[in-house]
Amino acid sequence: MDTLFFWCSKLIWVIVSPDHLLLFAITLACVLFGLGRYQSAKRLLTACVLTFWIIALMPIGHWLLAPLESKFPVNPPLPDHIDGIIMLGGNEKIEASIKWQQVELKAYTERALAFMRLARQYPDAKRVFAGGSGGLTTLTNSEADIAAQLFQEQGLDISNIQFERNSRNTYENALLTKKLVKPKTGEFWLLITSASHMPRAIGVFCQADWRVTAYPVDHWTTPSQQVKLDFAFAEHLEQFVYGTREWLGLAGYYFSGKIRELVPKTCIKS
């Protein structure tokens, strides 16, 4: 069932991603025009153009992301001793790293920066990286392999880091990492991931009966952007796509029983 869920989520996202929907709509408008359905083509094309302008001028993606990024406090107060630090993968470019034989990362590298800083701040804490490959094709390397190379290049002793290499999504991150490290009741663990992704991540760790403390990084939003109108089509579209993906991910996890709340904010009893 987990494999079926993984494949369905990937295929559904290809169809419903906002940028893909706009491309499909414009393509359909061209087809209608070629078939002589001029009025229908004109209406659909007009709707597409209006949508483009709305995205270009209004921070729709910011409105989607801001509620998710505000669920957990930034830089939470930490005790003198913590038992473990978990970083979720996702910012590693596996194919590019293999091709160019060096670490290639996506925009949200704050996860790795926070992990390395906290690993040095808490040298006695267990360190775990969770991430295999979220792609549909089989690769010779995983996110964990790229992360290991990055940490080693930045001076961390990777022999003290446990790498979970088989997970394909956030749900599997939690299950396989718990199986790997076997946390004990009462231990204090930090979870590092992007702020907008944190509600879903906390939700699946809670579902796995593992209470972790959120350490959100990589924020897309700022308060001033909520009411700011500017002409930034590419930036707004990227945020819109990312925000839509997080909300659809939450919905999919909630209705499939992988999280207990639509927008988790803490562990709750089942």
- Residue in the structure block whose two tokens are 């925000």: 243
Q: What is the pLDDT of residues 34-47, one digit of tens each?
A: 999 999 999 999 99
Fold of the CATH domain 74-218: Rossmann fold (3.40.50)
Task: Tell whether the model's pLDDT for residue 26 goes beyond 90.
Answer: yes
8 Å CB contact between 236 and 59: yes
Question: How big is the CA angle at 185 (ends 183 and 186), to the nearest 5 degrees?
Answer: 110
State the pLDDT at residue 267.
67
Average pLDDT on 209-235 reads: 86
State the pLDDT at residue 166.
92
CB neighbours of residue 144 within 10 Å:
23
State the pLDDT at residue 139.
63
8 Å CB contact between 253 and 205: no
pLDDT band at residue 107 under the 50/70/90 scheme: confident
Q: What is the pLDDT of residues 116-135, one digit of tens each?
A: 999 999 999 999 999 988 66
Task: Tell whether the model's pLDDT for residue 228 goes beyond 90.
Answer: no
Average pLDDT on 126-153 reads: 86
Domain residue spans of the chain? 2-68+229-253, 74-218
State the pLDDT at residue 24.
97
